A and B are shown apart, each in its own frame.
Chain A
Amino acid sequence: MSTIVPDKKNAVGAATGARNLAIYLAACLFVGFGLFPLYMMITTSLKTDQQTFAWPPVWLFTPRFQSYYNALFVFGGRSADHYLFNSLVVTLSSSALAVFLGAMAAYGLARFRFRGNRDVAFYILSTRFAPPVGFIVPIYLMVQRSGLLDTQIALIVVYTSMNLSFVTWILRGFFLEIPIEIEEAALVDGYTRWQIFLRVALPLVRPGLAATAILSAIFSWNEFLFASILAPGDAATIPVYLAGFSASMNIDWGEYMAVGTMAVLPIMIFTLALQRHLVRGLTFGAVR
């Protein structure tokens, strides 16, 4: 009799084990599918041309960093680091601005009752309904008239305004989740509205700040359309620079992929660092 029980247990264990294995396999396949292009890009940037075009593909090779060296120090004109720096400046400034301004707008919308509050909130979100191509001409003219063509400021302003709407919308939800008594306690404790915003409300929506910061940063870092039109030259960002590669006569795949890797790296590091907050931030409310 006593032997039956462990047998049964093993059968159940084996069944769940097989199921887990299947799930893991599927997950691995999916992750592999997602990461393979990245793998190709990074390995190609470390290969020689012969290795890149060899058939069957070369899986094991000694990595060389000549492509990176070339992209940074040998290529004529402005080298990759210049555009990387442009991207960094534009992305960090516009994300910081969007999150800060958006947080203030969201706090106001969440905490102050005034006529048309909900309409204003919805209007802010609705500015993202139209496809960006739709207003590229007016924006171009505005930037041109103000003499900001091919400057980082133009991109920072445009990206901030584009990110502001969803930052405001998302953060408004976060502020609404803060129990009002906590802020009332702070009022009675002697804090002004502004102090409460900075010392109580902002720290409490930190996951929301992280999530919106990541989303704005990814948007600004990847944005191509406006960057290519408003800042095609000296102030160009890395996507614009990368696009320029494929236009040249013959593509230096090693260098191309080296710049690509360098372009992906900062946003990857940024996202990985804030990833925990991102997941918490985007599922906020749903899990409570």
Chain B
Amino acid sequence: MPRVEFNRICKTYADGTRAVVDLDLAVADREFLCVLGPSGCGKSSTLRMLAGLESISSGDLVLDGRRINDVPPQARDMAMVFENYALYPHLRVFENIAMPLVARRRPRAEIRERVQQVAETLQIVEYLRQRPQTLSGGQRQRVALGRAIVRRPKMFLMDEPLGHLEAYLRVQLRAELRRLHERLGATTIYITHDQEEAEAVSDRIAVMENGRLQQLGSLVDLLDRPINRFVAEFIGRIPINMLPARLAGDGQNLQVGAAMMPLSGAQSAKLRSGGTDPLTLGIRPEHVALSSGSAGETISGLSGRVRVIEPQGDSTVIIADTPAGRVSALVPSGCVPSAGEVIELHFAMDCAHVFGADNINLLRAARNSE
């Protein structure tokens, strides 16, 4: 059963660019792993090394216990789906899907049967006689998927396969991808820069930046327990609030602007042991509550003036200016203050993250220990 291990993999290009640095990553059999990151973070290089399209500068790439650094792409038994589909423009859809089988010299009857089967799964039977240029983006992507699944490979590698599609098609196709994965059970590595997509299709998400793996986990992990400032800022539908903070003299409170935020025992212990100023408080808009008018009722409030109101359906994003900086809050659309109003912002401190000067999350796993 396929199991892939990246052992201290590095990729340095001829011009000196370090695309991937010391990557350690193990992908389990039948897992659907998403690699998520901003463009240029090394996720495509990682996938291309796995496919054999890019040489590995150092480290070991291990597939089922066998080092495959020098195995040519033809012999790796992986199927890849490219962002721009990479269909063969001179061949019809049928021949496009049949290509991997032709390469393996399967008998003609078997090829016809398997292509037909795949075309039925992907609902592209009626296009089999057409050329790729005559198809829409969504249809082309189905053909590319068909070409990948027709040979039943050990692994699927997908490089932003839905990147060029319209929003509604993306949602539709990613659901199909997930269904296909559950049916075929092949290990899949999927690259995207869209966290919603990553969440929808994958079992685990690997976040990369600057060629380094930052964190590996489920989306909930990444949201609630970001390992560092980059992950906290990169993950999340609405950007996390980052406010300068420092540990109050008594060690029991976090001082943000003039406000004192009470810390739990475990939190304050962690901050006292590892915290060095300057600290940064990270709090998601979902964990900020509002109260208007009655100021000074609680010490954990930060007062601010409402600047921007962004309705988002049943909830609304409020952006307020506070002495400590801009803070956004996600509130139910029923109780939205008006612009210019002075409001009190309350942070759910048990969901807060505090980052030290080295951007590491000092409170990570704080809630686990509680």
Contact = CB atoms under 8 A, between A and B. Distances in A.
Interface residues of B, number: 25
Interface in A182-196: 182, 184-192, 195
Contact of A191 (B76, B90, B103): B103
Interface stretch (B81-89, B202-210, B269-277, B330-338): B81-89
Contacts of A204: 89-90
Given A184-B53, A185-B80, A190 B86 contact: no
A84 B89 CA distance: 40
Nearest to A200: B88
A181 interface: yes
B82 A203 contact: no
Interface in B31-54: 51-53
Given A184-B53, A184-B86, A191 B80 contact: no
A184 B104 contact: no
A189 B147 contact: yes
Given A195-B103, A203-B90, A204-B89, A188 B84 contact: no
A182 to B, nearest CB: 5
A188 B47 CA distance: 12
19 contacts: A113-B14, A179-B86, A184-B51, A184-B80, A184-B82, A185-B82, A185-B86, A185-B87, A185-B88, A187-B74, A188-B52, A188-B53, A188-B73, A189-B79, A190-B103, A190-B151, A191-B99, A195-B103, A204-B90
B73 A187 contact: yes
Interface in A90-137: 113
B152 to A, nearest CB: 13
B104 A190 contact: yes
A174 to B, nearest CB: 13
A203 to B, nearest CB: 4
Chain A contact residues (Cβ within 8 angstroms of B): what range?
10 to 19
B78 interface: yes
B100 interface: yes
Contacts of A186: 88, 99
A190 B79 CA distance: 9
A133 to B, nearest CB: 42
B84 A181 contact: yes
A96 B84 CA distance: 34
B103 A182 contact: no
Contacts of B79: 188-189
Interface of A: 113, 179, 181-182, 184-192, 195, 200, 203-204, 206
Nearest to B14: A113
Contact of A181 (B76, B86, B151): B86
Given A184-B82, A190-B100, 9 more contacts: A181-B82, A186-B88, A188-B52, A188-B157, A189-B79, A189-B100, A189-B151, A190-B103, A204-B89
Contacts of A179: 84, 86
Question: Which of B79, B103, B147, B157 gathers the greatest number of chain A CB atoms within 10 Å?
Answer: B103
Contacts of B90: 200, 203-204, 206
A190 B71 CA distance: 12
Contacts of A191: 74, 99, 103
B150 to A, nearest CB: 10
B78 A182 contact: no
Nearest to B76: A188
Contacts of A206: 90
Interface string B158-184: 000000000000000000000000000
Interface string B54-88: 00000000000000000011101011101010111
B92 to A, nearest CB: 12
Given A182-B86, A182-B88, A204-B89, A189 B51 contact: no
Nearest to A190: B103
Contact of B74 (A113, A182, A192, A203): A192
A218 to B, nearest CB: 27
Nearest to A182: B86
Nearest to A189: B100
Contacts of B99: 186, 189, 191
B26 to A, nearest CB: 22
The residue among B51, B78, B82, B104 with the most chain A CB atoms within 10 A of its own CB is: B82
Contacts of A200: 88, 90
A189 B84 contact: no
A189 B144 CA distance: 11
A195 B87 CA distance: 16
**Which of A179, A182, A185 has the most chain B CB atoms inside 10 A of its CB?**
A185
A185 B89 CA distance: 12
B53 A187 contact: yes
Contacts of B78: 188
B56 to A, nearest CB: 16
Contacts of A189: 79, 99-100, 103, 147, 151
A181 B76 CA distance: 17
Nearest to A188: B80
Interface in B94-138: 99-100, 103-104
Nearest to A195: B103
Contacts of B87: 182, 185
B105 to A, nearest CB: 10
Interface string B289-314: 00000000000000000000000000
Contacts of A188: 51-53, 73-74, 76, 78-80, 157
A200 B84 CA distance: 17
A204 B76 CA distance: 26
Contacts of B88: 182, 185-186, 200
A187 B100 contact: no
Sort A-B residue pairs by CB-CB distance and give the 10 closest, nearest first.
A190-B103, A181-B86, A185-B86, A189-B100, A203-B90, A187-B73, A188-B80, A181-B82, A190-B74, A182-B86
A187 B103 contact: no
